[in-house]
Structure 1
């Protein structure tokens, strides 16, 4: 990739308090104000720009929890239909493995070109005959899973991929193949030239054009963001953001309290986010650890004062908050954590912690709503960090 010149940073147009920045971020993420259900899940995805995928399913998979947090108890079949309808989305490497609106296909041309220049995927090589064989199968037989292509793995080891799996994932990274559907959580691979609308498939913006648009989109989804936040949203490199941010349409601001030891920090804001003060009703909900409001741990700590870590891959005896602890959002703040599970038609809060007793009502409301959404008709509370809260919590859950 050709190096791009870095534009000088202009003077800040506004100084925001940490509280103002927090509310701007919440509104930008669709978690402050009345839920905008116009366009439903697809409109939410277009605004966020990226929804992370993950294999873990407790209440539901993470990509289902993201619209639930913003839109309320939208039906899970409707969520899946919105994500996997032909020609509307695709999967690619953004913040991580993410589902993206198909309109963003041209914007990741810079990343596809980089993968092609490297000519390998995560250091794994595959012979050209296997690569072309995969493309020929998809051309002849239409969309297929890796199993249908010949098998995903050589052994039971997670990353011991077959040559066919390496080839098709390489084709996905290069843009010859696209995943626009899942069957039983398996990727369904199709030729990109058939699955992506022609006007998008043939668009080839420059690296600079891709990056400028992605930085602007990230800023709009975050509301107000530091340079590090903009880097993290689509996992861009510092020199990539530095070269385009001043020309992205975002405006420089300062945020009091975002710097080290409470100092003022430089940031960038979406001009629309500064046009009107964020007001409205706060959403009370449980958040997936992979939700874009909190997927960047340093940003989460800076905005909400919560140091949150996914402990699914931490040995059980070393976990503090549980396997899939979901932060509780209430009143525009993160006020506790719940590690959920399901046993038949009972939602089990295996481990619960709250910052203060005044949040018990919000916790009960979030648990009841989540239970109803996943088809449970009862809630049981397991370990409660402050046992003095149990009588009030169980009374609210039973009412």
Structure 2
């Protein structure tokens, strides 16, 4: 395998910070799920269930004993909430106030999205949530046409989406991908901070998340899909202060521009090969979602090809990155057939300059079997 540009100690720090090192750092079950989500800062929600939906897959990769109901349990208990990070995500409730700037921008009409929403329809939907206590998306019948669901048509969906984006309703839980909406006062715990953060506080939030969850990070990663000169300037000033305090150091590597590492961060304690495991990660995993960073740090070029025409795919429809002993060594294209309780492995592609040994092959078989069980499959084909 080609030598990545980043020294091994930094790659180990990045993986350990993500909870992808050899040591299980978050605990087990429901408590471990909350600890993992609070440490990572967010877990992306995705509708694709080719293997398992991303929000479940990410947590299963890190938390022993993770079960699908855990997210609903934590959300209903007011420990986490759904909103937007760089995409739809589960977020720790302690960070609720940092979602307020986006919510208020929608409410003030500053966002370019949802500019032509039917305000009467929004009021009707909000009144219904208030009157009934909870509203499922399938409950929104399109009364004007007498058929279908409001959710399946433009006006109703946009009205409900805007109510959610501006914080007038929240999602208490999901059944599959169906959402159950409630009023914020039904879900927000007493004492949760609802003061909109200023620019400096938002910068500190983003930087602290990156230092905790990534260990090694770039300014571009901090500002991913976040715009505005004031925030950019605040982050630069805060980074400079952390440099002067000795909390972070700037990497002296032209291949990694404006990249920083946490000083004193601990990389993975190397286990013996007998204790090593293969991890099959979600395409939306927090550790791989920044594709440019993945290439720069791990020399692994990865692209999800489910949105690519079949004739143009190089590896497969839904390939999962394969992590082994601090290296991304390949990808595996899988699909869960839940009706037949069978996990199909369509193809396996290892990096061309890396040769697997017998131990890796056995650990890969173990990982595939574990993934099959997680998907409710009893057989692998």
Give the TM-score normalised by structure 1: 0.80
Identify if the C-alpha distance between structure 1 residues 293 and 275 changes in structure 2 by more than 3 Å, giving closer, same or farther.
Answer: closer
Count of matched residue positions in the alignment of Structure 1 and Structure 2: 356
Q: How does 1:175-324 map to 2 (within 5 A)?
A: 175-200=167-192, 202-232=194-224, 235-237=225-227, 239=229, 240-247=231-238, 250-251=242-243, 252-257=248-253, 259-260=254-255, 265-271=257-263, 274-281=264-271, 283-324=277-318
Contact 2:59 2:66 in 1 (8 A): no
Asked if 1 retains the 8 angstrom alpha-carbon contact of 2:249 and 2:262, the reply is no
Cα displacement (A) at 1:65 = 0.7
* 1:357 equivalent in alignment to 2:356: yes
What is the CA-CA distance between 1:107 and the residue it aligns to?
1.2
Give the match for residue 127 of structure 1.
118
User: Is 1:91 the counterpart of 2:82 in the alignment?
Assistant: yes
Using the alignment, how far apart are the partners of 1:270 and 1:153 within structure 2?
57
1:364 offset after TM fit, Å? 1.9
Distance apart, 1:93 and its partner CA: 1.2
Distance 1:151 1:291, change over 3 A: farther
Structure 1 residue matching 2:14: 3-state secondary structure: helix
| Structure 1 residue matching 2:13: 3-state secondary structure | helix
Residues 1:111 and 1:80: Cα distance change in structure 2 (over 3 Å): closer
Matches of 1:126 and 1:35, distance apart in 2: 46
Task: Using the TM superposition, give the Cα deviation of residue 302 of structure 1 relative to its aligned residue in structure 2, in angstroms.
Answer: 0.9
State the alpha-carbon separation in 2 of the partners of residues 29 and 53 from structure 1. 17
SS in 1 for 2:33: helix
Q: Is the 8 A contact 1:219 1:250 kept in 2?
A: no
Is the 1:223–1:270 Cα contact (8 Å) retained in structure 2? yes
> Any stretches of 5+ residues in structure 1 without a counterpart?
1-15, 381-399
Bigger drift between 312-321 and 358-367 goes to 358-367
1:32 touches 1:283 (CA, 8 Å); kept in 2? no
Runs of 4+ in 1 over 6 A off after TM superposition: 152-160
Against the structure 1 CA distance between its residues 285 and 109, is the aligned structure 2 distance closer, same or farther, given a 3 Å change threshold? Answer: same
Deviation at 1:83, TM superposition (A): 4.6
Instruction: Please tell me whether the aligned partners of residues 254 and 267 of structure 1 are also in contact (alpha carbons under 8 angstroms).
Output: yes
Match of 2:50 among 48, 52, 58: 58
1:137 and 2:128 are equivalent in the alignment = yes
What TM-score do the two structures reach when normalised by structure 2? 0.84
Aligned to 1:379: 380
Residues 342-371 of structure 1 deviation map (CA, whole Å, 9 limit, x = unaligned): 342332211111122334333222212212
Task: State how far apart, in whole Å, the 1-side matches of 2:79 and 2:267 are.
Answer: 33
Instruction: Indicate the residue corresponding to 1:45 in structure 2.
Output: 37
CA contact (8 A) 1:212 1:244 kept: yes
Distance 2:228 2:17 in 1: 23
Q: Deviations over 1:191-221 (max 9, x none)?
A: 1132212422633332432332132112311
Q: Which runs of 5+ in 2 are unaligned?
A: none
Q: How far apart are the structure 2 equivalents of 1:124 and 1:152?
A: 23
Distance in 2, matches of 1:29 and 1:60, equals 20
